[in-house]
Chains A and B, each alone.
Chain A
Amino acid sequence: MKKTILDYTLKVRIPLIVFVIIASFMTTYFVSRQERDGVGNQPVQPIKYSHKLHAGTMGIDCQYCHVGVTKGRQALVPSVNICMNCHTVARKDRPEIIKLKEYYDSSKALPWKRVHKVPEYAYFNHSVHVNVGIDCESCHGNVREMEEIKQVKAFNMSACIACHKNTKDFVPYVENIKQGPLHCAACHR
């Protein structure tokens, strides 16, 4: 029987197309995994703020700026007046500080780019983690070494669950730590 174009399509073309689709999907899936989890996310900030300088070199406590971290769900990005506590006098002549002062004086919104994000349907709470003694580095990495803030760990459900299951392995430095809750309503409402 004469081979028709249909046979060619069925035997060669379609399998080839399916293979290419699956292969590219798989490649993309694994290659972009980190990216999709946001690992390595380092957006350009409106002001070049260095965590390394403030938290590392100068050793300012995280909570000096992130005031909400022991009090509620949000750690909070500092309000501009907290920056101005020092910068009304300190380094007034630097271009980035001049920019900061402009924001402060004009009461214009200072649009920091969000780096870490847990989806809206997960009600992550900073205070319950920090108040049992888990330090910031366990999730946010060594911020004291970062010139510009960057996400280093995945913020997805499997990351949460991994630590909630094997809490002792993830935060060995906290004495008598109990396993984190694993039921749905602990994070989702």
Chain B
Amino acid sequence: MSEENKKYWKSLDGLNNSTDLPGKNHKEFPDSVTDGFNVESINGLSRRKFLGLLSVSTAIAATACSDYHDQKEIIPYTNRPEGVLPGKPNYYASTCNGCQEACGILIKTREGRPIKVDGNDEHPINKGKICATGQSSIYNLYDPSRLQNPLKGTSKTNWATADSEIIAKLDSVSKLGKKIVVLTNSINSPTERKMLDEFKQRFATTEVHAFDLFNNCNKKFGWFKSYGNADVPSIKWDKANVILSLEGDFLGKEGNFIENTRLFSSKRDFSNVKNFNRLYVVEAGLSLTGSNSDYRMRLKPEAQYDFVMALLNEVISKGASNIVIDSMVKNKLSKFSLDKIAKSNGLDSIKVNYLVEDLINNKGKSIVYASDSLSGDVQIAVNLLNEVLGNTDLYNYESAYVNTGKQLHFPQIEELIKSFNNGEVGAVIHYDVNPSFHFPKSLKYNEALKKVGFVISLVDSPNESTVNDNYTLPINHNFESWGDAHSRKNVYSLRQPVIAPLFNTRQREAILLTWILGSPKVYNESLYHDYLMESCRETIYSKKKLSVDFISFWNSALHDGFVNIESDGNSRKPFNISEIKIADSPKENSGFSVLLAKDYFIGDGRFANNGWLQEIPHPISKVAWDNYAAIAPSSASEMNLKNGDIVNVTVGDNSVKIPVLLQPGVAQNTLVIELGYGRTVISDVGKEVGKNANNLLNIKNLNSRWICSNASVENTGENYKLVSTQEHHSLDEEFVKDLHLKRGIIREANLDKYAKNPKFATEEDIELVSITSEHGQVGPKWAMSIDMNKCTSCSVCVASCNVENNIPVVGKDQVAVGREMHWMRIDRYYSGSSEDPIVSNQPMLCQHCDNAPCENVCPVNATNHSPDGLNQMVYNRCVGTRYCGNNCPYKVRRFNFFNFRDHFEDGFYLNEVSPLVHNPEVTVRSRGVMEKCTFCVQKISEEREDAIREGRQIKGDNVVPACQQSCPADAIVFGDANDPESKISQYRKHELGYGVLQTLNVKPNVTYLAKLRNTHSEDI
């Protein structure tokens, strides 16, 4: 070897011949390498021994296999209850208590456990449909974090001890003359109200106060001032040709929006285009109703008053008034010039002119609706506007909302808290409420609670208000309780338990009833049942004057779930014009406004621990697992804000840090924040999801606590990750702008264009030739159609599908990487400008293509075609290559990256109780398999079974998939495309019917019926 050979070196130390290097002193490793490695502490079992043991145990196991596999037991009933056949579902009519609307529900139970909730078909208000929250409320029944035993302080106690101690304490408090304060939500049950009255009699110093985070008090106030009573009528949306909604999300969250959606959509029937309604929405945030409007204008919430006044002025000055308006009012109104107000608020004058024209031309057949969040003055003005336009026939007095009584307002709450502090109150009972979360921190409710000394909470799980409790008492879920509800004048609904209490809980009414009766011994399971029956006999049965006896009446009422009752003749009253307050001049609105809105799914925070509800994407922004401050892109760019930037919103003394979302369509200088998020004392699912913005509730504004003016917004420089199931793509980029329109994913036109060219939706489609042969087709061919005219994107179908098909909850981190498991999603597309976009929605699910691209690429034939036109997915064959998901043009296939039940929050839903929610007719998928919409094949099998039993052919119309069953707008139709009589076969042939991405020749079996917009111009 020559010295000239190249020298290779590994490091500079090596090059410099450092002596510290390992190997230099004939040591392979540096000295310290075995530090902390003690041979003595190693297990004595050597590798050789371990392998030996392993092989021996395998051998033993192999020989042990010589017996038959134990097939476990079959345990029959001792006495099979009449009407219960294992394997067959039973349905029980009951009443939902997710909100104040008391929709009639039908609970499906299997072997005694509830597995699905749907609307009660015969219920006159909600007619077989319920909202996403109602659908998902079943998960709250099986929530493992429910409080399972009564607690004294933080330690477990039993009911008898708790009852007797509480009764003694309440007695002593009332003897001392100190107040007992019962805080409730507003109560729509007449029997419960009666029971609370008896409680007041039993404990003489009791005060009962109701508080709802969101309520219709402003509307009630406005109605009272206008007509002298607080029975706000519902609205016959199906009779309205023109609808103007001021900030009112009547299709998304206000009133009974399920009923509203049904009535509204009935006027969007493409087979009767002459009868289409026209929806104008004037609002600050982009709401679900706004996204369905024909014309939408952006207006700050404070400016609504001026806008209504200007409309009144315009309509009256055009001489179009239906009632006589005296000249003084006219004079005052004349200061509100519509042109000026439209100009100063940046409203499009063309749209405003259309609106005025339409309102005047459709007198008596239009309706103006103001949001519950707008002040009483606006409500009165809207009532007057409806009077002026002669629209009062559209009020449904027969089915008016029942007044559930007074509610606490912030001045009274401040008084109440003062009385806590100065020792007037001896006991506080939280009756299924959470004031510590709902009241702004500045009221210092929790500090005041400490001064009371005796606090009892009746709750389903511990919450922010139970922290200072002396007693925390667990209450039954709705499905474990008796009860009644009277929320609309013409219907009295009954609630019945469908399962015995899962835990050591009692229904809230029975707990108070036990205290009223004064002894823990009086409690038994039928305590409240008997009380309810008696109350029903007195208040309902006695008035009906029926020939049947009470027990028969009661049984049939329970069977039906409701009783129709005569309205008490509360009809039209004259409008009291003297109550209208007309300001001297329009107001200037500068500065930031904040509008606090109700969340679409989790209510006031009550459902925050329901993973299904947290995971349904927001209907507009598609953000899941968070709330945010929605801000107009232009306002954001002025402040240099990007998506997810955390801002500090300050109103008066209160401030909240919350991430912003650039939401096209929000009014300038306005933030829209949804409440109910940011719970802190709650179990794993809902803990610290989103930000608590209840602090911003405007306790000073007596007109509306949800609207704050002159907010200051500053960028904190921090950023937060919001996750959305639909990428927010920039609308300004030429490439993606209107992509969905260019590719024909969304096809829409206005009514004029449709009249001129009825085939607009399909004219550009060309007949394509397939290189493969058609599938052999025998018997029925399953197909679906979705009517985009009716669909409002309310997401009830998504919730219903989740429950029916055992869809797991995956959590925010997984949604962020696109692993949500929903079989059905609602795509949202924007078109037009980024400030004032037009929204198009589209439910998307497996299209069960005839030429399905997924089928060709599966290496193990796990997805293939059935002779009845289904794209089948066989979990047992699937090896998880995900080729199918990759090849699916609709992106509707979902892969189980984990066993999500195990993965989500360390197996939160993997416990003894939660799996009881699963539908036993559908496989619970495990890790590593692909899944997707099956067209509810279990329901198809059920129909096949029925058809064979009855000896007839399968009838496609009898198969109702979960999404169709729950769609409040009846937008989804499913059935047998080979049956010429069926609705679906006609819809498939309809000129408006098109297939999404038809150009790929995949031959989808979901037909979308193109949306028709009732606008004046052909450009949408």
| Interfacial residues, chain A to chain B (CB-CB below 8 A) | 28, 32, 35-36, 38, 40-41, 43, 67-68, 70-74, 76-82, 103-104, 107-117, 120-121, 123, 125, 127-128, 131-132, 181, 183-186, 188-189
Contact = CB atoms under 8 A, between A and B. Distances in A.
B934 A43 contact: no
A74 B937 contact: no
B75 A189 contact: no
Nearest to B922: A189
Interface of B: 62, 65-66, 68-80, 85-88, 864, 866-868, 870, 872, 874-876, 921-923, 934, 937-938, 940-941, 944-945, 948-949, 951
B85 A184 contact: no
Given A113-B73, A188-B876, A189-B938, A107 B86 contact: no
A80 B71 contact: no
Contacts of A82: 80
B945 A79 contact: no
A112 B921 CA distance: 24
Given A74-B87, A131-B948, A183 B872 contact: yes
B875 A72 contact: no
Contacts of B70: 43
17 contacts: A41-B68, A41-B71, A68-B87, A74-B86, A76-B76, A77-B74, A78-B76, A80-B79, A110-B78, A111-B73, A111-B75, A132-B948, A181-B867, A184-B872, A186-B941, A188-B875, A189-B921
Q: Which of A125, A181, A184 has the most CB of B within 10 A?
A: A184
A81 B85 contact: no
A79 B65 contact: no
A91 B122 CA distance: 51
A80 B77 contact: yes
A32 B68 CA distance: 10
B75 A112 contact: yes
A128 B944 CA distance: 8
Contacts of B864: 184
B202 to A, nearest CB: 39
Contacts of B949: 70-71, 127-128, 131
Contact of B76 (A77, A113, A127): A77
A125 B949 CA distance: 12
Contact of A81 (B75, B80, B867, B948): B80
Q: Report whether over half of chain A's contact residues are helix, strand or loop; otherwise say mixed.
A: loop
Nearest to A103: B78
Contacts of B88: 68, 71-72
Contacts of A120: 923
A185 B74 contact: no
Nearest to B89: A72
Nearest to A132: B948
Q: Which of B72, B73, B937 has the most CB of A within 10 A?
A: B73
Nearest to A74: B87
A147 to B, nearest CB: 18
Q: Report whether over half of chain B's contact residues are helix, strand or loop; otherwise say mixed.
A: loop
A43 B68 contact: yes
A107 B870 contact: no
B803 to A, nearest CB: 16
A125 B71 contact: no
A66 to B, nearest CB: 11
Nearest to B778: A181
Contact of B923 (A67, A111, A112, A189): A189
Contact of B934 (A72, A117, A189): A189
Contacts of A185: 866, 870, 872, 934, 937, 940-941
Contacts of B945: 72-73, 125, 127-128
Contacts of B948: 127-128, 131-132
Given A76-B76, A188-B875, A189-B923, 7 more contacts: A112-B76, A114-B73, A115-B71, A117-B71, A183-B867, A183-B872, A184-B866
Contact of A114 (B72, B78, B870, B922): B72
A103 B75 CA distance: 12
A72 B85 contact: yes
A121 B68 CA distance: 20
Contacts of B77: 79-81
Contacts of B921: 123, 189
A80 B73 contact: no
B875 A121 contact: yes
Contacts of B867: 181, 183
- Top 4 A-B pairs, shortest CB-CB distance: A79-B80, A183-B866, A114-B71, A79-B77
A186 B870 CA distance: 11
A93 B1001 CA distance: 75
Given A183-B867, A184-B872, A110 B87 contact: no
Contacts of B73: 111-114
Given A76-B76, A185-B934, A67 B85 contact: yes
A38 B80 contact: no
B63 to A, nearest CB: 10
A125 B79 contact: no
A67 B80 CA distance: 11
A28 B59 CA distance: 13
Contacts of A72: 85, 87-88, 945
A29 B79 CA distance: 44
Contacts of B951: 131
Nearest to A81: B79
B85 A125 contact: no
A38 B85 CA distance: 27
B76 A68 contact: no
Contacts of B941: 123, 125, 185-186, 189
B934 A104 contact: no
A128 B874 CA distance: 22
Contact of A112 (B74, B85, B868, B876): B74
Contacts of A108: 78
A188 B78 CA distance: 32
A36 B809 CA distance: 37
B874 A184 contact: yes
Contacts of B74: 77, 111-114
Nearest to B75: A109
Contacts of A36: 69
B71 A121 contact: no
A111 B75 CA distance: 5
Contacts of B938: 123, 189
A40 B69 CA distance: 11
Nearest to B62: A28
Contacts of A76: 76, 85-87
B70 to A, nearest CB: 8
A79 B76 contact: yes
B78 A80 contact: yes
Q: Which of B87, B872, B921, B940 has the most CB of A within 10 A?
A: B87
Given A184-B872, A185-B866, A38 B79 contact: no
A38 B68 contact: yes
Q: Which of B76, B77, B934 has the most CB of A within 10 A?
A: B76
A43 B872 CA distance: 37
A102 B972 CA distance: 54
A121 B876 contact: yes
Nearest to B805: A189
A67 B65 CA distance: 35
B111 to A, nearest CB: 10
B318 to A, nearest CB: 62
B79 A79 contact: yes
A110 to B, nearest CB: 6
B71 A43 contact: yes
Q: Which of B70, B86, B944 has the most CB of A within 10 A?
A: B86
A79 B866 contact: no
A135 B69 CA distance: 27
Contacts of A103: 78
B872 A38 contact: no
A35 B87 contact: no
A113 B76 CA distance: 11
Contact of A121 (B66, B872, B923, B937): B923
Nearest to B874: A184
Contacts of B80: 79, 81-82
